[in-house]
């Protein structure tokens, strides 16, 4: 029977259901702006992994603006990027012992400096810029970036049999490993 009391109860139940759905929908986790990623692979006998957070271009000019030239950069977003190798390797012809390192990069329009630092687990930046103590630098090498084969909206790392590359926007930064 359709009475005012029944109509009120039906409307109240519908209202409560709508409010509950709305509240739960707001609690759904939003995707991170720079999600955590890991690149893994083998170079010779060494198992290598690079853990990083992957920012997106989002219409911004990356090199020279978002990532300034001449200043150390965390090589990703959020926490400092980490590089792990289970064997001693040669990076750009220089020795790097097996272990876990933070990776920082100093980009320029020409050569880039790639820095392996023994401090890990820190947030990638602080008020002064990249968050690392240069006294903990284990290895620094220079590499030459090149135009990438395709536009990469999100930063990514790839490990190949010859080393690794950072790829973002229209740039690829190859690092040779033996």
CA atoms in the 13 A half-sphere facing the CB of 118: 8
Ranges of each domain in the chain = 32-176
pLDDT digits (tens, 9 = 90+) for 78-125: 999 999 999 999 999 999 999 999 999 999 999 999 999 999 988 888
Q: Under a CB-based contact definition with an 8 Å cutoff, are residues 50 and 164 in contact?
A: yes
Per-residue confidence (pLDDT) for residue 128, from 0 to 100: 80
Name the band, by pLDDT with cuts 50, 70 and 90, for residue 127: confident
Q: What is the distance between the alpha carbons of residues 171 and 66, in angstroms, rounded to a whole number? A: 14
Per-residue confidence (pLDDT) for residue 156, from 0 to 100: 97
Q: Under a CB-based contact definition with an 8 Å cutoff, are residues 106 and 113 in contact?
A: yes
Q: What is the distance between the alpha carbons of residues 157 and 172, in angstroms, rounded to a whole number? A: 9
Per-residue confidence (pLDDT) for residue 104, from 0 to 100: 97
Residue 136 DSSP SS3: helix
Per-residue confidence (pLDDT) for residue 71, from 0 to 100: 94
Per-residue confidence (pLDDT) for residue 173, from 0 to 100: 97
Per-residue confidence (pLDDT) for residue 87, from 0 to 100: 98
- Whether the per-residue pLDDT at 29 is higher than 70: the answer is no
């Amino acid at each position: 029977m359709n009475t005012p009391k029944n109509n009120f109860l039906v409307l109240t139940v519908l209202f409560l259901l709508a409010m509950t759905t709305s509240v739960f929908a707001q609690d759904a986790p939003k995707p991170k702006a720079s999600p955590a990623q890991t690149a893994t692979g083998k170079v010779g006998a060494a198992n290598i992994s690079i853990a990083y957070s992957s920012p997106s271009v989002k219409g911004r000019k990356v090199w020279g603006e978002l990532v300034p030239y001449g200043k150390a950069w965390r090589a990703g977003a959020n926490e400092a990027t980490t590089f792990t190798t289970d064997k001693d390797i040669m990076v750009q012809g220089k020795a790097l012992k097996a272990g876990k390192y933070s990776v920082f990069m100093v980009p320029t329009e020409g050569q880039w400096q790639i820095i392996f630092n023994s401090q890990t687990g820190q947030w990638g930046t602080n008020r002064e810029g990249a968050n690392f103590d240069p006294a903990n630098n284990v290895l620094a090498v220079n590499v030459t970036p090149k135009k990438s084969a395709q536009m990469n909206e999100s930063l990514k790392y790839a490990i190949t049999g010859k080393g690794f590359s950072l790829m973002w926007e229209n740039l690829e930064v190859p690092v040779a490993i033996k």
